[in-house]
């Protein structure tokens, strides 16, 4: 299992562009060691969940403290971290950057397989594994929301990373596709960290974090985490 | 966001056009593109339009995709025709419009009959002599993203126009242009973030497995 370690990780942003500008802390400091296969992150909109997730593959770098993945610092070894940590966004259409799923999977595999024929064979295997071979040559615009989300996962998992990070993957899905996605996540060999408002998904984890106002305010078993989150959400 | 046009996706096939080498298709697109500059008459351009229609048929590309692509371009062509007619003459205006239509269809045939990954490989090969100046993979990736973004931008424009019409603002250019620009900038940011998250913008030399 992949080990993610956050030591005093803090993210601040400037509040204006003037010289000697003031800053606002949007996350942290956070101290965590994540080793469990399934971790969920829950919290209100704007609480800092997405920023916490983006720290894990170096999309956001800490302004103080450190984040390491299997001992690799996300600032100094960003490229190597991103090979280990795949990231799936809420809206798969921004994730799918090629006209068709097959072409997108092949794009993921370009640096692993220089030969075109090897790349095609590898892409075929990935699409078969995810049950998406019949959709491989359709325009990404013609796929349903659920199909797009599965295709986006196939695309980022094609390189077989050790950790998959998902930012609210079920937000745009109906119930049937949410159940399909949840079933797929259950079968993945990768460690998974997922931010979600889907409390059923949150409850299915090994560990849950509750984030509020840029702080991890609860870290523990999912059932207690959900209660904690609901108490926060219901508070006046 | 919108239905598929010629630029949206590769149409698999076994036609002569599909099997043509990439370099020949690129030379063809280039030739069609420069034609308006080397001819002073409408007829060669009109003949080229007919020839391209023949290529679309030979490649068995769905006519509705071509029609859908052209429908999006039509308002621009009408405005352009009127402006060029007003500022020059009708023959000049027709030449300009036919030149654009031909270039648009030729580029559409290229993207519809060539998988984007083959295009990327071709661009990487072509850009290899310039690798001291620019990473060929980045050039190829940029081209791929542009090809994929064209239908998105067209679809975004169409959605924004519908929203403006619903609010009775479709005659106000600001109500269409400003939200479209905002959408496109947001799309560019999210695409950039997705590329970065996948490590596709990382330098190649930091990328070797086991590095």
User: Given this model, what pLDDT does residue B209 score?
Assistant: 46
**Chain A contact present for B10, CB below 8 A:** yes
Contact residues on chain B for A153, CB-CB shorter than 8 A? none
**Whole-number Å distance between alpha carbons of B90 and A119:** 51
Interface A–B counts its CB contacts (< 8 A) at: 103
Backbone Cα Rg of chain B: 20
**Domain ranges for chain B:** 1-114, 116-202
* Interface contact flag, B4 A108, Cβ < 8 Å: no
* Interface contact flag, B155 A141, Cβ < 8 Å: yes
**Chain A contact present for B138, CB below 8 A:** no
> In the predicted model, is pLDDT for residue A101 greater than 70?
yes
Q: Rank A53-67, A139-153, B50-64, B152-166 by mean pLDDT and report only the highest.
A: A53-67
Nearest-10 crossing angle of helices A145-157, A175-187? 20
> In the predicted model, is pLDDT for residue B211 greater than 80?
no
> What's the distance, CA B68 to chain centroid?
13
**Domain ranges for chain A:** 4-95+162-234
**Chain A contact present for B188, CB below 8 A:** no
User: Given this model, what pLDDT does residue B172 score?
Assistant: 80
Residue B11 · residue B61 · CB < 8 Å: yes
- Longest CA–CA span in chain B (Å) reads 64
Average confidence (pLDDT) over B120-136: 83
User: Given this model, what pLDDT does residue B208 score?
Assistant: 47
Q: What is the nearest CA distance from A81 to chain B, expressed in angstroms? A: 9
User: Given this model, what pLDDT does residue A44 score?
Assistant: 92
User: Given this model, what pLDDT does residue B116 score?
Assistant: 80
| Pairing mode of beta strands A85-88, A163-167 | parallel
Q: What is the nearest CA distance from B186 to chain A, expressed in angstroms? A: 10
Give whole-number Cα distances, A83 to A149, A192, B123, in Å: 20, 15, 25
Question: A11-52 pLDDT, tens per residue?
Answer: 998 887 666 678 889 998 999 999 999 999 999 999 999 999
Please state the pTM of the whole predicted model. 0.79
Residue A108 · residue A98 · CB < 8 Å: no
Question: B18-33 pLDDT, tens per residue?
Answer: 999 988 998 999 999 9
**B207: confidence class by pLDDT, cuts 50, 70, 90:** very low
User: Given this model, what pLDDT does residue B8 score?
Assistant: 61
ipTM of the complex: 0.84
Average confidence (pLDDT) over A76-94: 91
- CA-nearest of A110, A94, A35 to A70 is A35
Three-class HEC string of B144-171? HHHHHHHHHHHHHHHHHHHHHHHCCCCC
Average pLDDT, chain A: 91
Preferred mutation among A56, A59, A61, A79 to probe B, highest tally of B CBs within 10 A: A79
What are A51's two structure tokens? Answer: 């920023």
User: Given this model, what pLDDT does residue B192 score?
Assistant: 87
Q: What is the nearest CA distance from A213 to chain B, expressed in angstroms? A: 24
Residue A72 · residue A50 · CB < 8 Å: no
Pick from A97, A106, A112: which is nearest to B117 by CB? A106
Question: A198-230 pLDDT, tens per residue?
Answer: 999 999 999 999 999 999 999 999 999 999 999
User: Given this model, what pLDDT does residue A166 score?
Assistant: 95
Least confident of B1-10, B87-96, B174-183: B1-10
Average confidence (pLDDT) over B149-154: 79
User: Looking at the domain covering A4-95+162-234, what would its CATH class be?
Assistant: alpha beta
Strand partners, A216: A211
* Interface contact flag, B115 A91, Cβ < 8 Å: no
Average pLDDT, chain B: 84
Pick from A78, A86, A106: which is nearest to B202 by CB? A78
User: Given this model, what pLDDT does residue A133 score?
Assistant: 93
């Amino acid at each position: 299992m992949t080990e993610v370690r956050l030591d005093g990780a803090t993210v601040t942003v400037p509040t204006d562009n003037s010289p000697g500008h003031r800053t606002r802390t949007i996350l942290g400091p956070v101290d965590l060691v994540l080793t469990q296969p399934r971790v969920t992150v829950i919290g209100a909109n704007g609480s800092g969940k997405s920023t916490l997730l983006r720290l894990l593959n170096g999309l956001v770098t800490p302004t103080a403290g450190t984040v390491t993945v299997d001992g690799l610092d996300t600032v100094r070894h960003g490229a190597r971290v991103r090979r280990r940590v795949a990231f799936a966004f809420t809206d798969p259409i921004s994730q799918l950057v090629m006209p068709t799923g097959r072409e997108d999977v092949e794009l993921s595999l370009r640096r692993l397989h220089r030969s075109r024929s090897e790349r095609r064979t590898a892409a075929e295997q990935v699409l078969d594994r995810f049950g998406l071979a019949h959709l491989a040559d359709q325009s990404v615009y013609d796929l349903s929301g659920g199909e797009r989300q599965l295709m986006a996962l196939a695309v980022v998992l094609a390189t077989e990373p050790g950790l998959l990070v998902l930012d609210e993957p079920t937000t745009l899905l109906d119930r049937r596709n949410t159940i399909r996605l949840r079933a797929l996540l259950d079968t993945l060999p990768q460690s998974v960290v997922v931010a979600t408002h889907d409390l059923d998904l949150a409850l299915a984890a090994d560990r849950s974090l509750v984030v509020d106002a840029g702080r991890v305010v609860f870290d523990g078993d999912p059932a207690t985490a959900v209660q904690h989150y609901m108490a926060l959400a219901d508070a006046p | 966001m919108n239905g598929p046009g010629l630029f949206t996706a590769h149409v698999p096939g076994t036609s002569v056009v599909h099997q043509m080498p990439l370099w020949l298709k690129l030379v063809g697109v280039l030739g069609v593109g420069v034609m308006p500059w080397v001819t002073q008459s409408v007829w060669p351009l009109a003949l080229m339009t007919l020839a391209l229609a023949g290529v679309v048929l030979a490649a068995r590309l769905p006519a509705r995709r071509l029609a859908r692509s052209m429908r999006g371009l039509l308002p621009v062509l009408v405005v352009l025709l009127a402006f060029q007619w007003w500022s020059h003459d009708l023959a000049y205006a027709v030449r300009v419009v036919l030149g654009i239509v031909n270039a648009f269809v030729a580029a559409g045939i290229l993207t519809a009959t060539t998988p984007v990954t083959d295009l990327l490989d071709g661009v990487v090969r072509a850009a290899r002599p310039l690798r001291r100046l620019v990473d060929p993979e980045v050039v190829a990736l940029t081209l791929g993203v542009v090809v994929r973004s064209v239908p998105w931008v067209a679809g975004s424009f169409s959605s924004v126009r519908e929203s403006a019409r619903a609010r009775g603002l479709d005659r106000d250019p600001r109500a269409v242009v400003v939200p479209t620009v905002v959408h496109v900038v947001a799309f560019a940011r999210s695409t950039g973030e997705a590329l970065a998250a996948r490590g596709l913008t990382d330098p190649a030399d930091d990328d070797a497995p086991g590095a």
